Structure 1
Amino acid sequence: MALDPHLAGTLQMLAAAKAKPTAEGTPEEGRAGYLALTAGSLTPEQRVPVAGVQDTTVPGGAGRIPARIYRPEGQGPFPTVAYFHGGGYVIGNLETHDNMCREICRSAQAVVVSVDYRLAPEHPFPAGIEDAVAAAKWIVAHARELGGSPTVAVAGDSAGGNFSAVVAQQLRDEGIRLAAQFLIYPAVDHVAAVYPSAEQNAKGYFLEAETMAWFYNHYVGGYANPMDPRLAPLQADDLTGLPPAVIVTAEFDPLRDQGAAYAAALHAAGGQADLIPGPGMIHGFFDMGRWSPGAQALVTHSIARFGALLKSQGS
């Protein structure tokens, strides 16, 4: 399918702005640019309404870390979703993903706890994933207080999809079974050469190969094992017993084939994985519905599938 015309226009707009490429700047510059593109480009009427938003802290790997709780309209009980934001482990935060969390909260009818894990390069691997695991355990332990239901899932986009997959594996290994996982164009492997989409979509579609390398180098630091399943959950020796997944990919995304491979691997291990391809979409489309009706339709559809999965797991 051709690139979505509205997203093509968005890419042209970004190119015309002639901003410094992320891979040529500092982490601080990348964070400022990403915040401007996401939360900074929202108008008040584009902010998704929810019943309540509360800033708080939750346990992390080395102390408490910021988090934000979103509550939907209604009486509940509701499932609870631990959300891990994208941004290449380096540039995302609670604000960049505020509207995405609001959308999941409202459309999936779930309490969403967005976790502001420590970022690289100030805190390289494994600091961020240790925060994610600790926060997820706390959310499971406090689910009755948060949503009123024992149903707990993980969700995340890009780097946050990586964290969600790793958290699901780590908690399974500790005897804690989550209800579901919602992986939005997840980064689940680091051997890009084996995936055609990494070469096909290496340049010109928002997330580029140079940017991915910049993220990875900041995140991994001097760690030398890219096959560590805490980095590459697709490389885990055992994918059995994991929660059912909804996995969303984008056609013009370097990570497209990784997401599809993870869905296939979960199926092969006897698990459930609902793969939702994104024809005409680019990486990052989940926050581009205000610019593209096609992107918004896919966002609405995939969250509805995730919400139905949560409901089925809670029944």
Structure 2
Amino acid sequence: MTAVSLPTRPAAVVAAARRASVAALLRLPEPVKRRLAGPPVRVDGLELDLDTQLVLRLRRLAREPVVEDLPIAHGRAVLRAQAALAGGDQPIGAVRPCRVADLPGRLYVPSGRLVQDGGDGDPLLVFFHGGGWLYGDLDSHDPLCRFLAERAGVRVLSVAYRLAPEHPFPAAYDDALAALEWVSANAGWLGADVRRIGVGGDSAGGNLAAAVAIEAARREIPLAFQLLVYPATDMTRGSASHRLFGQGFYLTTEFMDGVAAHYLPVEEQRTDPAASPLLADLPAGLAPAYVATAGFDPLRDEGEAYAAKLADAGVPVRVRRFDGLIHGFANWVALGASNTAAVAEVADALASGLAEADT
């Protein structure tokens, strides 16, 4: 008898099927979801979002692999698959691959802006992905970049910087700064208005965006806005939120220990202002900022401390804590009403931040 091998379903099909299953559960009546998720989780005066709690429980029941326990290459693939599951297929006018200071890049052009109108160009966000400087790439943050571009009506240029441990600090920082300098010199080629260029990112990407914005002010590189989504700003990690939320809420202490050891292998590097913007002396001329944090995130306090530091330095800054959400909510744009609403609010802040730069 001849064995017949069954065709393997493409990863995208599997991800879509899993996403549909989870989405169906999240559409159940709230009392049903509460029974499935368990009793409310309350920490530090905050209550965990019900949909988030249910998804976290489903992940535990499914015994999804813990990234920090995997070889790095495997962990990168797992995080990419998780992002595809949570991000979904987001509409966008056009996506164009490009090179940015000799780095891989991807330009997202929102609908209605495919052809330049002869003006000075569109607002543009230079985006650096999260992933602890070890993980993440153009694909892992593709749904988020699509959503930001389309919702905000701005061009988004995602840049793939070098990752540790192959390229430890300051490689990622150097790449991010080089990318911003290149964008400033090539704004017209990108269809962008050099007066309305912003820099942004989530988590490790927010760290890079904040550090690059500081150096941009010192070098007088035009920069109109900072979009900092749960940014890592203090690699000494002494805040209360690290102790409160280091277990059970997606981003773990073990993960953070691992990425710090690979990205900043020399202990003294962790207090370098390019790695810990919270410890930097802030120059004059820093771009206005929007800082988003999550209530159940180990990075919550350092993100809010950095926002306070910006405000104390006279930098216009808006701070928004999404009380019931966890680290990584920006990648969950296709799962959970609260996550989608939060990312929409972040996109609206991006739109208004770059619009105000033109006034």
Smaller-chain TM-score bracket: over 0.9
Count of paired positions: 307
Alignment map for 1:10-159 (pairs within 5 Å): 10-40=55-85, 46-59=88-101, 64-75=102-113, 77-150=121-194, 151-159=196-204
1:299 aligned onto 2:337: no
Superposed CA offset, 1:212-235 (max 9, x none): 111111111235231111100111
Does 1:161 pair with 2:161?
no
**Higher CA-based Rg:** 2
Partner-residue secondary structure (3-state), 1:192 = coil
* Aligned-pair CA distance for 1:261: 0.3
Task: Name the counterpart of 1:250.
Answer: 294
3-state DSSP class of the match of 2:104? strand
Aligned-pair distance for 1:292? Answer: 0.9
SS in 2 for 1:242: coil
State the match for 2:303 in structure 1.
259
TM-score normalized by the length of structure 2: 0.83
4+ long deviations beyond 3 Å: none
- Residue of structure 2 equivalent to 1:182: 227
| Superposition deviation, residue 181 in structure 1 | 0.4
**Structure 2 partner of 1:207:** 251
For 1:307 and 1:159, the matched residues in 2 are separated by: 22
Question: What is the match of residue 280 of structure 1?
Answer: 324
Distance 1:246 1:182 in 2: 5
- What TM-score, normalized to structure 1? 0.94
For residues 189-216 of structure 1, give each alpha carbon's deviation from its aligned partner in whole angstroms, at most 9, with x where no partner exists.
11212x1111010100000111011111
Matches of 1:94 and 1:128, distance apart in 2: 14
Shift of 1:158: 0.2
Deviation string 1:252-278 (CA, Å, 9 cap, x unpaired) is: 000000110011000000111100111
Unmatched 5+ stretches in structure 1: none
C-alpha distance in structure 2 between counterparts of 1:16 and 1:96, whole Å: 24
Distance 1:226 1:98 in 2: 29
What's the CA shift for 1:290? 1.8
**Once the two structures are superposed, what CA deviation does each residue of 1:114-139 show, in whole Å capped at 9, x if it has no partner?**
00001000111111111111011111
Question: How far apart are the structure 2 equivalents of 1:257 and 1:71?
Answer: 34
Q: Is the 8 A contact 2:271 2:279 kept in 1?
A: yes
- Contiguous gaps of at least 5 residues in structure 2: 1-45
Q: Secondary structure at the match of 1:263?
A: helix
Summarize deviations over 1:55-104 as a string: whole Å, max 9, x none.
11111xxxx11110111122463111100000000010000000110111
Contact 1:185 1:247 in 2 (8 A): yes
Structure 2 partner of 1:232: 276
Q: For 1:237 and 1:41, locate their aligned partners in 2 and report how far apart those are by CA, in whole Å.
A: 37
Contact 1:177 1:242 survives alignment (8 Å): no
Report % sequence identity.
37
